[in-house]
Structure 1
Amino acid sequence: MSWVRNAGVILGQLDDSQIGFRLAHDGDLDALCDIENRSFDIDRLSRRAFKRFIGSETARLRVAECDGAVVGYALVVFRSNVALARLYSMAVDPNFRQKGIGRALVGQAEELSLDYGAPILRLEVSQGNAVAIALFHGAGYREFALYPDYYPDHSDALRMERVLVPQSMRLPSPIHFYHQTLPFTCGPASLMMAMNALDPLVEMDRSLEIALWREATTIFMTSGHGGCGPLGLALAADRRGFNVEVLRSRDGPLFVDSVRKAKSREVVELVHYDFARQIEQAGIPVSVGAFGVTEIENRMRNGQMALVLISQYRIYGDKIPHWVVVSGFDDRFVYVTDPDIGDDHDPFNGSDCLSFPILRHEFDLMARYGRDKVQAAVFVSKKAG
């Protein structure tokens, strides 16, 4: 889905006495579809899509109204507990352009974003849409990426964002995004991104992803293939010439209680204690005990990349342990790169999973998995010399 297409928004004067704004409802569907069809030749939002967004808990659709008629809209989408929003789509009735409605809709989108607790608003716009680009530049948006061949007509997309709260500014992330290709390879994908950030010669591809999973897997989880634990990931990084450190909230194998079959639990325990033996032989430091955001931040200030185990429940509503890469901090946020871009119907892509902001206290909660508040982090850095 293209986020902001050739929406025809043009700078002009807005007459506050004639134009009003409100959240959309199902009675607006005919007008929204009419504006959509007259605004875009390709990649249109369907009536079904508009209806889904109107009823969504993670989307806000606001319309511009003139004399009781809908003349434009702005659609903003969110991710739970993530301080980043997307201006997913915006359009103005062709008969009402050049009246400043587009600029006002951008302002409405920013209000929606802040109301939801997301102080960073991102969008994509066709590189050939000079009018819309000028509008967004004038509203304070900056360009930070270009996606070639992004739209169905093979045109390029310009990626733009605005930080709505100045103190949430951050440094650019050194991480290049890699999307995990299997449900159980979040750990390997995160480790690949961390190693590549430290050494660009590390090629991120599926062969390495699967090789790392084979080395680091705990064999079994509740059902199906197992994920990777901190000791296995640490050993895999150590074998590839990186310095490694592990923090974990408790000793012994993680998640063994979730394995239903006794024989499977035995295998998990055998793998764990074999990993522990190899960790000791390799001289990899392991600290056992609860830790928080401050400990992670302090190590990253020393040049380490952090892989952190989180619960997906506070993001996706799934009670699943999940590895992410922490790519930075500021006074308000932890910046996280997530190798899982979500479901196919989710209107987010890899760019949104790269260095997205999570409030510090929120991240501190999600980095504690399950009833036992299990914590684990793997820190990777270059070897001296």
Structure 2
Amino acid sequence: MGVSNKWEPVVTNAAVNLRLAEINDLDALERIELSCFDSDRLSRRRMRYWIKAEHGILLVAETESEVLGYGLVILRRGSRSARLYSLAVLAKARGQNIAPALLIKLEEMVLSAEKLFIRLEVAEDNLAAIRMYKKLGYRKFGIYRQYYATGVDALRFQKPVLHPNMANAMKHYPWYKQTTAFTCGPSALMMAMKHVRGGTPLDQTTEIDIWRQATTVFMTSGHGGCHPLGLALAGHQRGFAVEVYSTQINDLFLDGVRSEHKKSIMRIVEKDFIERATNAQIPIYQREIELSEIETALNKGYGVICLISTYQFHGIKAPHWVVITHADDRCLYLHDPDGSEGFYDESGNRLDRSSHANIDEREDADLDYQHLPILKQDFGSLSVFGKTKLRTCLLVKPNE
């Protein structure tokens, strides 16, 4: 990408104007593309398409006499995320902070379109662009190997555009990254318990111990995930008062399991959970929790964990436990324990969490899984799983 080699505070030349691209800008946009990129260029036909497209924002920076640069953001259909597709500034105009100004204006427009994130790819050897993105609050969360025609890898960056407005208003909430692919439930419960009572340990021993107590034994593949009643029992055993809200109590997660033998084992485990939760007098409400009840619980300092489907995040339908940390007028905010999503090895395969030592600046990725903003109108479709439309949520309270 063509950007300034030195990032500075965003103070553009007063003579530079930012506006949406028009059809008569095509010649200028084509000149910029040819000047700034040796490969992976946008064609004139694609430029024309994005000028007209309703799901794209093509912004140009111009003086009275010339268009000097542009930025293109694609608004993903069916998602609250946007993608910075291209950003380019003519060499003669660099050093005037045009690239950062374009990006900041695009962020404002993305937020106005009710998108919550911007993601982008940048060549790993484009150090000037990487510095600029980091200065503007973007964090690396993954890598695409040999992404560009030149064979260069692309680093993946992300920024929650709503998050900076809330950063100062939100109090600290403990965050823990799950260490296996199947312990999102224990990790979410640990964060909630730590929030309610500070002495709760956040370590792998506790994580695995809770999983052993709460697992359904089997799932669609691999190790079993955690049943809401199993997690409630684990919290109860550790001295917390736990309430369970679930639209379904029996036969959870069975619709994705083909083996009748596995289903029979899961039913045995589930029956035991129900009996022990009943004996422990754990409140079980067989209904969906209301948003107002979640907000009331948060205001009282309770922990709130919820089962979601990961389809809207990753395009893969899987049950996943998260923590709801805060709420405001527009959004709920989530801590997602699966902080390694998006990292890939040399062959393009997703890295296992045991490979974290091989990931540079991995702490940057962790930031993108804390206080994840979700519009309230999206929470209903996010917090439902499976053919049975399961909705389940746990409130974790001090045991008074």
Match of 1:240 among 231, 238, 241: 238
Residues 192-235 of structure 1, C-alpha deviation per residue, up to 9 Å, x if partnerless? 21122223332322222222211111001122211001011111
Q: Counterparts of 2:259 and 2:99 in 1: how far apart (Å)? A: 59
Shift in CA distance, 120/343, structure 1 to aligned 2, threshold 3 Å: closer
| Contact residue 121 and residue 164 of structure 1 kept, 8 A | no
Shift of 1:116: 4.2
Matched residues in 1 for 2:77 and 2:179: separation? 23
For residue 226 of structure 1, the aligned residue among 220, 224, 244 is 224
- Please say if residues 81 and 315 of structure 1, whose CA atoms lie closer than 8 Å, have aligned partners that are also in contact: no
Per the alignment, residue 259 of structure 2 pairs with 261
Give the 3-state SS of the residue equivalent to 1:264 in structure 2: helix
Cα distance, 1:107 vs structure 2: 3.9
**Contact map agreement 1:179 1:189 (CA 8 A) in 2:** yes
1:378 CA drift (Å): 1.2
Segments of 5+ residues of structure 2 without an aligned counterpart are: 121-130, 141-157, 345-349, 351-361
Q: Does the 8 Å contact 2:139/2:159 carry over to 1? A: no
Q: 1:86 to 1:240 in 2, by over 3 A?
A: farther
Which moves more between the two structures, 242-251 or 253-262? 253-262
The answer for the alignment partner of 1:114 in structure 2 is: 111
- Segments of structure 1 that go 5 or more residues without pairing to the other structure are 38-46, 124-130, 137-142, 148-158
Give me the whole-angstrom Cα distance separating, in 2, the residues matched to 1:218 and 1:49. 50
In 2, Cα distance between equivalents of 1:79 and 1:326: 24
- Contact between 2:139 and 2:365, CA under 8 Å: does it hold in 1? no
Mapped pair 1:368 → 2:392: no
- Structure 2 letter corresponding to 1:343: G
The equivalent of 1:290 in structure 2 is: 288
Within the candidate set 95, 98, 101, 1:101 is matched to 98
Q: Distance between the aligned counterparts of 1:194 and 1:31, measured in 2?
A: 51
Aligned CA distance change for structure 1 residues 199 and 86 (closer, same or farther; 3 Å): farther
Of 310, 313, 328 in structure 2, the residue corresponding to residue 312 of structure 1 is 310
Matches within 5 A, 1:296-375: 296-341=294-339, 342-344=341-343, 349-375=365-391
Three-state SS of the structure 1 residue aligned to 2:368 is helix
* Alpha-carbon distance in structure 2 between the residues aligned to 1:30 and 1:266: 66
Distance 1:204 1:33 in 2: 52
Please report how far the alpha carbon of residue 377 of structure 1 lies from its aligned counterpart in structure 2 after TM superposition. Answer: 0.9
State the distance in 2 between where 1:349 and 1:58 align. Answer: 27
Q: 2:107 corresponds to which letter in structure 1?
A: E
**Matches of 2:276 and 2:82, distance apart in 1:** 43
Q: Counterparts in 2 of 1:54-73, with a 5 A limit?
A: 64=61, 71-72=68-69
Distance 2:235 2:5 in 1: 42
1:264 deviates by: 1.0
Q: Tell me how far apart the structure 1 counterparts of residues 197 and 119 of structure 2 sit (CA, whole Å).
A: 29
CA contact (8 A) 1:21 1:65 kept: no
CA distance in 1, matches of 2:320, 2:55: 21
Q: Secondary structure at the match of 2:195?
A: helix
Q: Percent identity?
A: 33
Please tell me whether the aligned partners of residues 221 and 259 of structure 1 are also in contact (alpha carbons under 8 angstroms).
yes
Cα deviation digits, residues 81-131 of structure 1 (max 9, x gap): 7757798997866642454525631442224422542367799xxxxxxx9
Instruction: Indicate conservation of the 8 Å contact 1:74/1:108, yes or no.
Output: no
Alpha-carbon distance between aligned partners in 2 of 1:108 and 1:332, rounded to the nearest angstrom: 21
How many angstroms apart in 2 are the aligned matches of 1:365 and 1:208?
31
C-alpha change, 1:64 and 1:253, in structure 2 (3 Å) is same
In the alignment, what sits opposite 1:251?
249
Other structure's SS at 1:179 match: coil
Deviation at 1:273, TM superposition (A): 1.1
Inter-CA distance 146–323: structure 2 relative to 1 (3 Å threshold): closer
For 2:147, the equivalent position in structure 1 comes to: none
Separation (CA, whole Å) in 1 of partners of 2:397 and 2:381:
26
Q: 1:184 to 1:311 in 2, by over 3 A?
A: same
Which residue in the other structure is 1:152 paired with? none
- Cα–Cα, structure 1 residues 181 and 33, in superposed 2: closer, same or farther, change >3 Å? farther
Asked if the contact 1:177–1:350 (Cα under 8 Å) also holds between the matched residues in 2, the reply is no
**SS of aligned partner of 2:378:** helix
One-letter amino acid of the counterpart of residue 176, structure 2: Y
Cα distance, 1:367–1:160 mapped onto 2, change above 3 Å: closer
* Distance in 2 separating the partners of 1:31 and 1:103: 17
Tell me, yes or no, if the aligned pair for 1:121 and 1:162 is still in contact at 8 Å.
yes
Change in Cα spacing, 1:214 to 1:180, as seen in structure 2 (3 Å) is same
> How big is the shift at 1:289?
2.0
1:248 Cα deviation from its structure 2 partner: 0.8
**Structure 1: which amino acid aligns with 2:11?**
L
RMSD of aligned C-alpha atoms? 4.7
Please list, as runs of the form range in 1=range in 2, the aligned pairs for 1:18-97 lying within 5 A after superposition.
Answer: 22=21, 64=61, 71-72=68-69, 95-97=92-94
Letter in 2 for 1:11: V
Aligned partner of residue 349 in structure 1, secondary structure: helix
Cα distance change on mapping 1:85 and 1:316 into 2, 3 Å:
same
